[in-house]
Every structure is written in C-alpha cells, then in structure tokens.
Amino acid sequence: MGASSSGLLDEAKISNIKGLVDSAFQSFSVFYRQQYSAAYIGHLHQEVEPKKEGRGLLLTPGPQYAREEVLYQGSVKFSCWDEQGKKCRERYAVLKGVYKVEIHENMETFSRGCSAKLVLQPAGCSVFTTEEESRAHLEKTCAGILNGTKEDSSSLVSSPDVPAVYLHRPFTGYTCFLFQQEEERDHFLSALKTCIRHGNLDPWCDPSYESQAYVRALRLYQQDKGCYESWEKLLGTEEQVLASQVMEEVLSWLQSQLQSRVKGKKTERIRQWLATVQATYTLVLVQLTASLEALREECRQTASANQALIRSNLDQIMSSHCFLEEKVKACLCEEAEKVCSESVAPYISSILEVLTENISVGIQGMQHTLHTQMDSAFTHTIGGTEETKMALSTLRSISLDQCYRQVENLAGQLEDLKQRFGLSSTQRLVHSAHLEMEKLLNSAVYTLELFLQASARLQPSQIPVKMERAKERVLKQLDYDSRVVQRRLYQEALLEITLPALTRKMDNKWKSELQQFEQYIFSDYSSFILVHNIYDDVLRNILSKEIETAVQDVASRKSNSLLLDTADMAISQYSLLGQTPPRTAPGSPAVVTRDSSSAAAPPGDGEEPGPVVSHIGPSKSGDPDHLLTQIPPIPSQTLLTFQRPLRPHRSPQMFQPNALKVISLQRRKGPPHLTSQPQKEEPKTRPPSSIPAPHRHTRLVQETKSALGH
C-alpha cells in the first residue's frame, strides 16, 4: 500500500519521516563503523589462531529443509485487515522451506509454477486462533490513538464459526485464514509457527563477523538512548530489526502529529491508523535497507584496504589489546563482582529453576515421543528398503506441538523479569528452545537413518538385532546431546537476560571514566581496539562465571538429572560408545590410556564398532621413545589422534611427538589394546635417555613414518 492511500501522510510528513530515519541511521552508523573494524580484527585473528570449539554433540546433524520443500499446502479462505466487510476469497496457501507464506490464486497456478499473488514475511509475527485475542492485540497496538473512543456495534474482525488463524505482522496489520476442519487449521498453524521461528532466528544462528559488529552496534545505539535490553529484539533480518527500533521513534512523532486527525468510531480509527503505520513502515524499511547495504559495502572496502596493514601488525594489535584488558580488569573487577553478587546473582537460581522446569520437560517429552514412535514404526519392519524408508518418513513427520506448548509456559512464570531485568518479551527465548528441540529430533532421525543404511548388507536374521541396537544407540546419544544443548541454552539465556542490569549499574560510574584507558592504545591501533568492547567483555566474563557456578550447582545435585555435571560429561560420552573409563577428578579431562580398563565393550555379532572419542595427552613417562616401543603394525582401520598442533594455523603435519597415539578399530573379542602382540613389562622408572632431545625428536618422526608404512 502506498503512503498516500492512508490520506494522513502528506509530502511534508513523508519528508519529516525520512529525516527522522536518516538521523537515526547516522547515529547507528557511527557505532557500526567502529564495531566493524574491531570485528574484522577478531575475524583475522580467528583465522590465525582458531578458538577452541565448545563441547561437541554425538548425533550427526540432519540436513535442513530444502528451499522448495513444501511444509504445507491447501485451500483456505483468505482476507486482509483492509478488506473489512468484504467476502473472504478462496486462495491456495503454500508454506515452503524458505519459511515464507505464499498466497496463490488456486492450486492450478501453483502447480504450473506461477508466482504467488502475495508473499508474507512471518518474522516477528504474532498468531492467534480466536477473534477476542486478535481484537485485544489490535487495540493494544493502537492504544495511543484510541484514547476514550467509544465502542461501536460492528466487529473489527469477523467472527466466523469456523476454525481461523489470525496472523498479525509488525506494523502491517493482520491477515485472516479460515479453514473447514480444525485438523486442517492445526496443520497450517504448526507449519506457520515453524516459519515464524525460523524467520525470527535463522539470521542469527551462525553469525559472521559482520553480524557480530551489527549486534554490538545495535546494543550501543540502544544504550545511547538509555535502553539496555536488545537481545530479545533480535527477531528477523538485520534490516527488519533496525526498522523496528527506528519505528518506535517515528511512531511517537507520528502519533503526536495525527492524534487530532484520526476520527470516527473505534473500528474506523484502527483502520486509519493501521493504514498510516503500514505506509510509514514501508518507507522506513526501504530507506534503511538501502542505507544499511551501502554502509556494509563501505566498511568492506575499508577493511579490504587495511587488510595488509592489519595482518602485518596483528601480533602487536593483539598484544596491545591484552595489555589494555588487564588494565581494565584491575580497575573494575572488584566493583563489578560486588555489583554482580548483590544485584544479579541472587536471582539466577530462581530464573534457572523456571527454565529447567519448562524447557527440560519439553525436551524430555520430545525424547519420549521419538522413543514411542520408533517402537511403533519399526515393530513390524523386517528390514526391507521400502519399509525402512516408510518408517523413517514417519519419524520425520513427528509433531512436537505438545512439547512446544510446555516450553511456552515459562512466559507467564518469568513476568517478574520484566520489572527487575527489563525483559520485554520471552519470544526469542521460547523460539530458541523450540529450534533446539527441532534440531535434536532431526539429528536423531538422520543418525538412525545412517545406522540403518548398513543393515542392507546383513543377513535377514541379523536385521532386527541391528535395528534394535541402532535405536538404543540413537536414544542414548539423543539423551546426551539434549543435556549438552540445555546447558548451553540456559547459560546463554541467563547471560543475555541479566547482563543489561549489571551493565546499567556499572555504567552509572564507569561509562564516563572509560576514556582514561585510551591512553594505553597506540594511535595507529585506536580504530581496531575499542575500550568499550573490552569493558563489555570483562563484565560478560564476570557474569558468565557466576552463571556457570549456578548451572554447575544444579547439575551436580544427585536429585536433578536434567543437566549433566561437567565432571560426568566425558563419562557419558564413553558410556554411549560402549566404553567405561575410570572416574576422574571433577573438572579433569578424560584420557584414554593404553593400559586402561576403559576399553570398549566388544561389539556383538553383526554390529559395527562405534566411533572412538578420545582426549589424548602426552605419555606419562614424558619420553617419546616409550610410545614408539608399543606401536604395532598398523591395521587397515586405524584412527590417529593428536593432542594439538604446535601452531594451529600452520601445516597440520606439525604435531607434538608426545601426543601421537594409535587406536586400533580392529574387531576383537577382548578389550582392544594399542598393541597386537604381548609387550614386555617395563620398569616403573626409566633412566633418562642419553640421546639429545633434537636427535630423539628426529628419530621419533622417522620411526613413526616407518611404522605407518610411509
């Protein structure tokens, strides 16, 4: 809809709106340019010295929906908010893997590949299934323009006696879908909510350094206006998020200008205001999209021009960064820890309790649902290819709506957070949990499919045993992965919810004093090292430690089985792979030793050996020759593991001699050992080798290559 269609936006107001948008964008762009340079430095440093990855998952990630894969298609009765009083039209709705709602003329035009008549972006949308909920939401969004307006007899939203879905999009009104059967409505609603979740969070799932620069710039832009809460507002693309923030400023001005011009009864006022807001949002989004793309391109060119200079001085830049970080820590750590312990820490456990009560129960429900469906799908399957495909297809179509609703219950239980921590919405938190549950289910089904692919080569009598073992293994891995995911999800949510409160209190004193730290930055590096970023990272680290302590406390309680204790993480990994490693002290890494009793249990007949997960360290004796004396002839199936390279960014062939260990995957009846021949028992103490260290290293490499057959 064009701007002039509302009749309330003249050229002067349109010009003022563009001026407000440009002013807001100029303020944002200052922060973005600064953050882009800092993020680019981090990107280059990450290339040279990759950070350690977090704890991995056991399940194999399943493929995402194909862009053209249809999640839902069917005939619906369709109407928009600006068609009040008109008869609903018959349309054909299609929801695909691009997570958008397509409205086609009919099924024939869709089948012929014609373009959709209308495409709805679901990011940031709200969904209702009753007229009362939809009307209440409308009146809430239009509250500022409805002061004292009398009710009229006509209903704003038609009240059909058929199943309905009302889709309210940000700043663009609502759309109504009518269905003949509740079952059809529920199917559409499930697919629609999937599109909303992915539309909200997919842009932020794997952020690039440009996205990281955007997030920090948006946070600083918001803080500059006195608003410290921004995490829950990251719903949709970068352009949509920024447009939503700018619209808050524009609508405040627009309402003051049009208050006296919006007349009539409540229904008419809402219609006029929605038309004006939609026209305004279109102007804002178009202008910001073009401006943001131009800003990105400008920053990319600047970064590219400085790349050679940055790479040649990267070590000095990072050293300067570390030096400044220590200075900042020394000045504010004590006070920050005190503020954290007084204003944030007392509430972490209660928030965590609400999260575990709802998210954990939802995830457990997902596991139970999958287990039940597995048993049902494979009960009468004898291993035929087509039967297996049908069973897997059934598992892929499992509905988690009931499990999702369990997670949604936490919204009401976290109401007090809106006052204490300023959390405006729990939608991002809820959708994050939903997406994690969806990924876990897809990964479990995909991993099961990979396990069952080998069953085609087995004898018919072995297939049922193979299937049962595959199901058990997948369910165990799913249980482990679910706990790892929960722990990560809770830590992120707690950090993002509570960090604004800590930052706000610390800013009262330190925001004006941060400038003093700039004296420690060389002028040549001033555009790459930002004091505020270091300050923010210090606060995050302090709060993260407090959160880790709280989560660990919950996980370590014997009565709580919803989270894994970090001391038991490695134990759980081994148990899933058929191994039983010795208990280690809490916090110590699990180590696979040559003579350990933690050998893998022998696989049964017809079962393939599972993967080996290990953390290999140097030999206990400290002598690399001790390792070489036990290297047997290498079988065809061998896994070589290394502790770490000397320089991760250089040649992968450079490894520590002490770290080499060979783990054979050769099938055997007894516990596997590193040697295939009996070894002479060595004395408990070895005399120091008389060979100088450099020569010993050379000999080690030569003998290792010889043992490997090179």
Residue-wise pLDDT tens digits, 194-225: 999 999 999 998 789 999 999 999 999 999 99
Mean of pLDDT over the chain: 79
Q: Across 373-387, 419-433, 627-641, which has the greatest mean pLDDT?
A: 419-433
b or e along 177-197 (b: 16 or more beta carbons within 10 Å of the residue's beta carbon)? Answer: bbbeeeeebbbbbbbbbbbbb
Burial of 338 (0-12, 13-18, 19+ CB in 10 A): exposed
Between 83 and 507, the more confident residue is 507
Distances in Å between the alpha carbon of 238 and those of 25, 178, 276, 418? 13, 32, 23, 24
> Of 41-45, 88-92, 305-309, 619-623, which range is least confident?
619-623
Q: How many CB atoms lie within 10 A of CB 360?
A: 21
CB 636 within 8 A of CB 665: no
Long-range contacts of 245-253 (CB under 8 A, 24+ apart): 245/24, 245/218, 245/221, 246/20, 246/21, 246/24, 246/25, 246/284, 246/288, 247/171, 247/280, 247/281, 247/284, 249/20, 249/24, 250/17, 250/20, 250/21, 250/280, 250/284, 251/277, 251/280, 253/16, 253/20
What is the C-alpha to C-alpha distance for residues 678 and 518, in angstroms, rounded to an integer?
A: 65
Question: What percent of the chain shows pLDDT beyond 70?
Answer: 73
Q: pLDDT value at position 513?
A: 87
What is the C-alpha to C-alpha distance for residues 246 and 234, in angstroms, rounded to an integer?
A: 14
Which of helix, strand or coil describes residue 316?
A: helix
What is the C-alpha to C-alpha distance for residues 439 and 63, in angstroms, rounded to an integer?
A: 9
List, in sequence order, every beta strand (DSSP E) within 322-444: none
Distances in Å between the alpha carbon of 691 and those of 249, 457, 700? 75, 52, 11
Q: pLDDT value at position 376?
A: 86
Q: What kind and span of H or E run contains 210?
A: helix 209-224
Q: Taking residues 571-579, what's their average pLDDT?
A: 45
Long-range contacts of 104-109 (CB under 8 A, 24+ apart): 106/75, 107/73, 107/75
Q: pLDDT value at position 699?
A: 53
Q: What is the pLDDT of residues 166-181, one digit of tens each?
A: 999 999 889 999 999 9
Domains (range + CATH), the chain? 3-43+209-265+279-321 (no CATH), 70-203 (2.30.29.30), 343-564 (no CATH), 592-710 (no CATH)
Q: pLDDT value at position 618?
A: 37
Q: pLDDT value at position 207?
A: 80
126: CB partners within 8 A, 6+ apart: 137, 167, 168
> Of 384-393, 522-531, 578-587, which range is least confident?
578-587
What is the C-alpha to C-alpha distance for residues 84 and 159, in angstroms, rounded to an integer?
A: 12
What is the C-alpha to C-alpha distance for residues 61 and 54, in angstroms, rounded to an integer?
A: 16
Q: Taking residues 581-601, what's their average pLDDT?
A: 38
Q: pLDDT value at position 565?
A: 53
